[in-house]
């Protein structure tokens, strides 16, 4: 059965095709563009179970139709099993058993929950699910299944880190007919931004259309925000837009002014303009907050939304005086 990636899952849920969902960590609500659609789609699912190491926005805004269950689990440093990680340099290393400061907490690792659930639903044949709670056994299965991971079968005994075979090239030889790398010319698309009138704003409103990037602040890991400011970009809080001075002044805006940022499905108001090192025609705001204003185009092969080029109209609201 073909599964769903993130965006197609939200589309399927919005169409009423999903009745139960188990989320292993992450923040499905916060990670999706068009927060309004994400909330509506998740609200059509009968039961959602979140396995989580900490609370996040999805536990409050990504509620199911009937049953929303949040199950706290041990994080990677508290895991009672030895685990392996692959570094950015292709080294596979063995982690020792972790421990938690929560001595009286009724917590279990994700792998224990999943294997126990699978065993109760599917039984012990053809897969002995409970045996998969032994991570050493899982590593032996990986060694037999995935090319390049053969050494992981004995890493518990050897404690030796290793590189995955076939990943690192030390000689200019490639698995092609000629042994040489094949280079391709990829035509660049002609990219255009919509006109201001396409955002449904009155033609009398002065502003500027920008290619908005969504990004994380310095003190942020995925959708988890640890500090509201970003000292490296000079952004004092989350409701800011980083703009090039030339763009802002061409639209009659100035630094620290409060503006409205309009996307194709929503808008954010009272956004503070911050001048920064972004190219003319571009701007940056923080996700997941800015997700509410746009429904991004999707790259259909990968299912990846165009988070880094969101057309947005930036303008200052005209306030009428009350006489």
Q: How does DSSP classify residue 203?
A: T
In this model, does residue 30 exceed pLDDT 80? yes
What the block records as the tokens of 174 is 């490639």
Q: What is the mean pLDDT of residues 40-65?
A: 96
What the block records as the tokens of 275 is 């001048």
Q: What is the mean pLDDT of residues 305-310?
A: 90
133 in helix, strand or coil?
helix
* pLDDT on residue 104: 86
Band (pLDDT 50/70/90 cuts) for residue 319 is low
Contact indicator for 191, 309 with CB cutoff of 8 Å: yes
Most confident of 40-49, 99-108, 305-314: 40-49
In this model, does residue 168 exceed pLDDT 90? no
pLDDT exceeding 90 applies to what percent of the chain?
79
* pLDDT on residue 106: 87
In this model, does residue 222 exceed pLDDT 70? yes
Q: What is the mean pLDDT of residues 148-168?
A: 92
Looking at per-residue pLDDT, the higher value among 170 and 134 belongs to 134
Contact indicator for 261, 285 with CB cutoff of 8 Å: yes
Which residues face 69 on adjacent strands? 49
Contact indicator for 149, 86 with CB cutoff of 8 Å: no
Read off the pLDDT of residues 173-198 as tens digits, 9 standing for 90 and up. 888 999 999 999 999 989 899 999 99
Distances (CA, A) of 140 to 85, 132, 137, 156, 279: 15, 11, 5, 10, 50
Distances (CA, A) of 217 to 104, 183, 286: 35, 36, 7
Residue 72's contacts (CB-CB under 8 Å, 6 or more residues apart) are 52, 53, 105, 107
In this model, does residue 320 exceed pLDDT 60? no
Read off the pLDDT of residues 3-21 as tens digits, 9 standing for 90 and up. 899 999 999 999 999 999 9
* pLDDT on residue 19: 96
d(CA 208, CA 266): 16
The yes or no reply on domain 196-315 and CATH 2.90.10.10 is: no
In this model, does residue 83 exceed pLDDT 80? yes
In this model, does residue 305 exceed pLDDT 60? yes
What the block records as the tokens of 318 is 């005209």
What the block records as the tokens of 234 is 């000079």
Average pLDDT, the chain: 93
Q: What is the mean pLDDT of residues 53-59?
A: 92
Q: How many other β-carbons are positioned within 10 Å of the β-carbon of residue 235? A: 22
In terms of Cα–Cα distance, which of 319, 282, 263 is closest to 35? 263
Band (pLDDT 50/70/90 cuts) for residue 156 is very high
Q: How many Cα atoms occupy the beta-carbon half-sphere of 44 within 13 Å?
A: 15
* pLDDT on residue 109: 93
* pLDDT on residue 1: 64
Residue 63's contacts (CB-CB under 8 Å, 6 or more residues apart) are 42, 43, 48
Domain segments of the chain: what residues? 1-72, 74-183, 196-315
Read off the pLDDT of residues 271-304 as tens digits, 9 standing for 90 and up. 999 999 999 999 999 999 999 999 988 988 888 8
Buried b (16+ CB within 10 A) or exposed e, 62-96: bbbeeebeeebbbbeebbebebbeeeeeeebebee
d(CA 230, CA 80): 35
**∠ at Cα 301 (297, 307), nearest 5°?**
35
First to last CA, the chain: 65
How many residues are present in the chain? 323
In this model, does residue 322 exceed pLDDT 70? no
Band (pLDDT 50/70/90 cuts) for residue 169 is confident
Which residues face 215 on adjacent strands? 286
Instruction: Tell me the pTM.
Output: 0.87
What the block records as the tokens of 154 is 């004995």
Q: How many other β-carbons are positioned within 10 Å of the β-carbon of residue 240? A: 22
User: Which sign does the torsion angle of CA 107, 142, 95, 31 carry?
Assistant: negative
Instruction: Classify strands 91-95 and 162-163 as parallel, antiparallel or unpaired.
Output: antiparallel
Contact indicator for 300, 249 with CB cutoff of 8 Å: no
Read off the pLDDT of residues 226-261 as tens digits, 9 standing for 90 and up. 999 999 999 999 999 999 999 999 999 999 999 999
Residue 27's contacts (CB-CB under 8 Å, 6 or more residues apart) are 56, 57, 58, 62, 222, 223, 224, 288
In this model, does residue 102 exceed pLDDT 60? yes
Q: Which residue has the tokens 């310095």?
A: 218
């Amino acid at each position: 059965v073909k599964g769903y990636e993130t965006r197609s899952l939200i589309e399927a849920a919005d169409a009423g095709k999903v009745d139960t969902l188990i989320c292993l960590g992450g923040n499905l609500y916060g990670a999706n563009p068009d927060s309004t659609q994400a909330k509506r789609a998740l609200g059509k699912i009968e039961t959602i179970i979140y396995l989580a190491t900490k609370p996040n926005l999805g536990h409050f805004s990504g509620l199911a139709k009937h049953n929303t269950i949040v199950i706290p689990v041990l994080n990677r440093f508290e895991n009672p099993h030895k685990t392996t990680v692959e570094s950015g340099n292709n080294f596979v290393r063995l982690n020792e058993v972790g421990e938690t400061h929560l001595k009286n907490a009724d917590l279990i690792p994700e792998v224990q929950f999943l294997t126990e659930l699978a065993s109760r639903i599917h039984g012990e044949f053809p897969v002995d699910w409970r045996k998969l709670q032994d991570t050493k056994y899982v590593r032996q299965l990986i060694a037999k299944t995935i090319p390049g991971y053969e050494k992981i079968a004995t890493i518990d005994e050897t404690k030796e880190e290793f590189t995955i075979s076939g990943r690192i090239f030390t000689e200019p030889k490639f698995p092609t007919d000629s042994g040489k790398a094949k280079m391709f010319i990829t035509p660049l698309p002609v990219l255009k931004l919509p006109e201001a009138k396409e955002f449904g704003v009155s033609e009398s409103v002065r502003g500027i259309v920008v290619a908005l990037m969504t990004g994380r602040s310095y003190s942020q890991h995925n959708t988890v925000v640890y500090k509201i400011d970003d000292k490296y970009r000079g952004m004092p809080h989350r409701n800011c837009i980083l703009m090039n001075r030339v763009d802002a002044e061409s639209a009659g805006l100035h630094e620290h002014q409060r503006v409205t940022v309009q996307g194709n499905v929503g808008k954010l108001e009272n956004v503070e303009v911050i001048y920064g090192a972004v190219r003319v025609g571009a701007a940056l705001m923080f996700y997941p907050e800015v997700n509410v204003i746009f429904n991004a185009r999707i790259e259909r092969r990968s299912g990846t939304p165009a988070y880094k080029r969101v057309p947005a109209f930036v303008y200052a609201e005209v306030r009428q005086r009350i006489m």
